[in-house]
Structure 1
C-alpha cells in the first residue's frame, strides 16, 4: 500500500501547544499516513492539529508578508544603509522579475499554510465523534480552518490576480485553487471569479461553524466577528458595497466592545504593549518563542558603546526605510498616530537613543517609523520589532464601512463613520470624499500591509515618494541617479506590477501555470 506523507507545519508546537499531549507518543511536526488510515482519531489529536493550523496561519503574518506591500508603494523611502533589501520590490524596475525571492517567499508561505488547512479539513471530515462536546470541538476547528483558508486565498488573489472586475473576473487569471492535498497535482490558475467564489464558500462554511463563537477583544482564535471582518474585505474587493458596509458594521456593533484608542496611554497599550482594545484577532507569542515575522527593517537596532560619551544609550536605530514626507504631510499636530513616528533622538525605557544611518551619528532632522518598535516583554535585550500579530483590527472596519457607504452614495453615513475614527485619533474631522477616505486609509494602516491592495482597488497608482527634507539634507535617503525608481518613483494604475509574478520556480515545476503579463 502506498505511503502518503502528510505534514502540518509546526503542529502543536510553541504557544499553542497542549500540555495534555504526550509528545513521546504523538507527532511533533509531521506523520506518515497510509491510504485509508486517519490522522485524527481522538479529541486530543483534533486539538493538537488544530493548534498546528493556527501556527501555520500565524506564520503568514507580518515580516515579508506585510513589508512588500508597504515598501513597494509610496509610504517609505530606502535609506543608504538598506543594502538592496526589498530593492527590486521598492524600485519595481527591470530587476523585479519572476525570480524575486521576496515574492517567492510570500507565495510559498501562503501555499504551505493552505496545504495544512486542506489536510486538516479532509482529515477532520473522517473523524466521527459521538459525544456532543467532541462534535462541537470538531465543528469549531473546521470553522477555523475554513477561515484561515479564505484569508490565505484573499491575500493571494489581491497580489497575484487582477483587481476584481465584474465584467472580466470570469476570464482574468488569478491563482491555482488547491483544496485537497496532492503532492503530484499540477493545477492551472483559476480565474479571479473562481477564486473569489471559493473565498466566499469558505467564509460561508466558517460562518456556519463559528456562529456560536462570539467575538472577544484580542481573540487568539477566529470568531464570528473575525469571519464578518473578512467578509467585509471580500465584499469590498468584489464591489458589493452594501454587504461590505453591513459586514463591517456588524463588527463595529459587536457585543465584544472593540474600542478605538483615543488617548496616548491607550495608543501605547495598543501599539507597544499589545494590550489594546482594537484587535478582532491577536495571535499569541512569548519571549522564548518568536512564531512570526517581524517588521524590523523599519526599526533595526544595534549597539555601539562609544555612544555613551554623548550621554545617550549605546543602543542605536539604523532603519532600512524611513517614512516618506508624502505620508507625514497627512497627519495633523494633534493626531495621536503621530506617536508612530519619532524625530530627534527616540526615547524608550527612560533612555535616549541615537539614529545612525551611513557613517555618522544623526542629530535627526527627520522622522523614523516606530509603529512596530517592539513589545518590551518580547525581548531580553533591546527593541527587536517583535509584536503580537494582529491580522484584523476594528479600525479597518471603520475604513471599510466609510468607503462602502460612500461608494453607495450615502455620504452622510460615510461621514459619520469616518469622523468617528478621525476624532478618536485626535485628527480633524473632514467631509466624506474619496480623497479624504483614501488618505485616512493611508494614515491609519501605514505599515500594516494594506497599502498595495488599497491603491490597486482604487485604480489610482501613485506618482512620487516625496522624501523628508531633513532626510535629504542629511543624505540618508537613497537617491541614486535621477531618483526615478526611488523618491521619484512613478507607479501608474495600469502598470503590470500591480500583479505580482508567478514565481519562476513554480512554473518550472508546473507547466500548467501561465505567467502574468510583463514578466
Structure 2
C-alpha cells in the first residue's frame, strides 16, 4: 500500500489541474512502475479504480425535495445546484470531483496500457491481461463522462456532437478539445471488445475487471446507443457467466435496519460484477412521490433500500467496506442491470412473453411469496412500459436514471418532462434540454479553456 501511495504522488498531476509545465523527471524518493508487479499494484488501487460519481440521481425524477427544510438542510450548495439544473454546479474555487475522478482513472489506465510492454519481466499473457483490465476501467470512465458531460448519443448527429476530451496516452501535451460523441463511444467499444479475450471469465476479486464486466459494459454501451440487438447479445453473454440474483426475501420479516448489515459486502455480493462505489453523495435523499408510488408498499427494494420516503444509502444493501470505512451505492455493472437490459431488448424485439419471463425471474426475488404477482403483457408495447418501470425500480439510487432519461427522451412516446419542487414553486426540465448535461467546472475551464463549456 505504501508503494501505491508513492504511485499516487507521481501520477496525481492530471491534465485538468494545469499541468502543462510538468517535467518528466522522477522526483527523488518516489517510485514509478517498472515491473509487471508494479503495474499490478497500480491497478489494485481501489481508491482510484473502484469509485464512481454519485450525484446524477439529483437531476432526475427519482428525487424530490418536497419539504422546505430540505433546502436549508442540504449541504453542500452543489447538491441544490445539480438538483435545480443550475447554470453551474460548483463555485469558481471548487473542483468537480466526478470529472477529476474519471480522468484520474483514464490517466492511470493509460499508464498501464502504454507502459507495461516496455518492462522486461513478466510474460506476454500476463501483460495482455493487465492491459485488458486497464481498458475496461478506461471504457467505464469514458462511458460515464460522455453520458454526464455531453448530449445523448444519437446515430444521426453523434459524429458532430461534442463529447469529452479523449486522452489515450499519459502525457501532458495532448490537446484537450472535445472529441465527438461518436469518437468517445467508439473508443469505449474498441477498449471493451479488444479486452475480452485476455480477461478471465470471472475475477479473483470484484475489484478487478473480468470478461463478465466487459460484456456487461458492452451491454450498457449498446443500450445507450439504442442498438438493442447488440445490447441483448452482451446482456445474455454476461448472464451466461454470472447469472445469480440476491434474494431480498431473506429480509422480508425484519424491522431492524441493522439487520441489513448482514447483506454481503460488495466484494462478496453475487450481483456485483465490478465494484464501482458512488463516493460523493451527501446523506439520504427524499424519493419522489412518483417513484414511491411506482415501488408500492410491498416491494422489498423499498424496505431494504429505503425507509419511509428516504433512500438510505447507508443501508443500500450492497456495501463497499472493502477499501473504506463507509458504505456506498454500487454503480458498476450488476446482475440485476443485465436482467432489465435483457428484458427491454426482448420487448423491443416484439418478444413480449419472453420479456415478461426475464422480468419475472428478477421480480420473484424482490417480493415475499404472498405478495408476488407475475407480470404479464398484452403486447410488445405494454411489455416495454412494464420493463421500463421495473428497470427504474431495480436501478433506483444507483446513478442509471439520468442516462435512461436522456436516451428515452429520443423517443417521443417515452419522452418526459421532469418537475422538481422548489422553494419558489415547481421547476421543470423539458425533454432533450441542455440542462441534462453537466457543465464543466469553472476551475477546470480556467486551467484548460480549450475544453469549452457544455451547451447550456
After TM superposition, the score normalised by the length of structure 2 is 0.80
Provide the residue aligned with 2:244 in structure 1.
Answer: 258
Structure 2 vs 1, CA of residues 368 and 218 (structure 1 numbering), >3 Å: closer, same or farther?
Answer: farther
Distance, in Å, in 2 between the alignment partners of 1:103 and 1:182 is 22
Q: Does 1:416 align with 2:357?
A: yes
Provide the residue aligned with 1:361 in structure 2.
Answer: none
Deviates more, 1:156-165 or 1:274-283: 274-283
> Which one of 418, 432, 436 corresponds to residue 463 of structure 1?
418
> Which one of 115, 122, 133 corresponds to residue 107 of structure 2?
115
Distance, in Å, in 2 between the alignment partners of 1:238 and 1:378 is 30
Provide the residue aligned with 2:74 in structure 1.
Answer: 82
> Which one of 332, 336, 352 corresponds to residue 296 of structure 2?
332
Counterpart secondary structure, 1:277: coil
Distance, in Å, in 2 between the alignment partners of 1:162 and 1:411 is 31
Distance, in Å, in 1 between the alignment partners of 2:350 and 2:249 is 32
Q: Does 1:406 align with 2:344?
A: no
Distance, in Å, in 2 between the alignment partners of 1:422 and 1:323 is 21
Distance, in Å, in 2 between the alignment partners of 1:227 and 1:424 is 26
Structure 2 vs 1, CA of residues 270 and 514 (structure 1 numbering), >3 Å: closer, same or farther?
Answer: farther
Tell me, yes or no, if the aligned pair for 1:236 and 1:244 is still in contact at 8 Å.
yes
Counterpart secondary structure, 2:450: coil
Mapping 1:477-492, distance limit 5 Å: 479-482=422-425, 484=426, 489-492=427-430
Q: Of Structure 1 and Structure 2, which has the larger fraction of its residues in strand? A: 1
- Structure 1 residue runs of 5 or longer lacking an equivalent are 1-8, 14-25, 284-290, 299-320, 344-365, 467-478
Runs of 4+ in structure 1 deviating by more than 6 angstroms, as ranges, are: 100-103, 374-379
Provide the residue aligned with 1:277 in structure 2.
Answer: 270
Mapping 1:159-170, distance limit 5 Å: 159-170=148-159
Tell me, yes or no, if the aligned pair for 1:217 and 1:257 is still in contact at 8 Å.
no
Structure 2 vs 1, CA of residues 182 and 171 (structure 1 numbering), >3 Å: closer, same or farther?
Answer: same
Provide the residue aligned with 1:367 in structure 2.
Answer: 309
Tell me, yes or no, if the aligned pair for 1:217 and 1:281 is still in contact at 8 Å.
no
Distance, in Å, in 1 between the alignment partners of 2:107 and 2:204 is 29
Provide the residue aligned with 1:315 in structure 2.
Answer: none
Distance, in Å, in 2 between the alignment partners of 1:493 and 1:279 is 32
Distance, in Å, in 2 between the alignment partners of 1:496 and 1:378 is 33
Q: Does 1:442 align with 2:392?
A: yes
Provide the residue aligned with 1:322 in structure 2.
Answer: 286
Deviations 1:71-126 (A, max 9, x none): 111222332421445011111145x3675788822212111221111112111121
Counterpart secondary structure, 1:372: helix
Structure 2 vs 1, CA of residues 512 and 369 (structure 1 numbering), >3 Å: closer, same or farther?
Answer: closer
Q: Of Structure 1 and Structure 2, which has the larger fraction of its residues in helix? A: 2
Mapping 1:21-36, distance limit 5 Å: 29-30=9-10, 34=25
Provide the residue aligned with 1:177 in structure 2.
Answer: 166
Alignment coverage as a number of residue pairs:
411
Distance, in Å, in 2 between the alignment partners of 1:110 and 1:203 is 17
Distance, in Å, in 2 between the alignment partners of 1:44 and 1:97 is 40
Provide the residue aligned with 1:105 in structure 2.
Answer: 97
Distance, in Å, in 1 between the alignment partners of 2:326 and 2:286 is 15
Distance, in Å, in 1 between the alignment partners of 2:424 and 2:300 is 37
Shift of 1:173: 0.8
Distance, in Å, in 1 between the alignment partners of 2:96 and 2:32 is 30
Structure 2 vs 1, CA of residues 200 and 135 (structure 1 numbering), >3 Å: closer, same or farther?
Answer: same
> Which one of 437, 444, 447 corresponds to residue 506 of structure 1?
444
Structure 2 vs 1, CA of residues 34 and 396 (structure 1 numbering), >3 Å: closer, same or farther?
Answer: same
> Which one of 58, 63, 67 corresponds to residue 71 of structure 1?
58
Tell me, yes or no, if the aligned pair for 2:60 and 2:401 is still in contact at 8 Å.
yes
Mapping 1:52-63, distance limit 5 Å: 52=45, 54-58=46-50, 60-61=51-52
Counterpart secondary structure, 2:286: strand
Mapping 1:265-304, distance limit 5 Å: 265=251, 268=260, 273-274=265-266, 275-282=268-275, 293=279, 295-298=281-284
Structure 2 vs 1, CA of residues 229 and 238 (structure 1 numbering), >3 Å: closer, same or farther?
Answer: same
Counterpart secondary structure, 2:350: coil
Distance, in Å, in 1 between the alignment partners of 2:319 and 2:441 is 37
Distance, in Å, in 2 between the alignment partners of 1:342 and 1:233 is 26
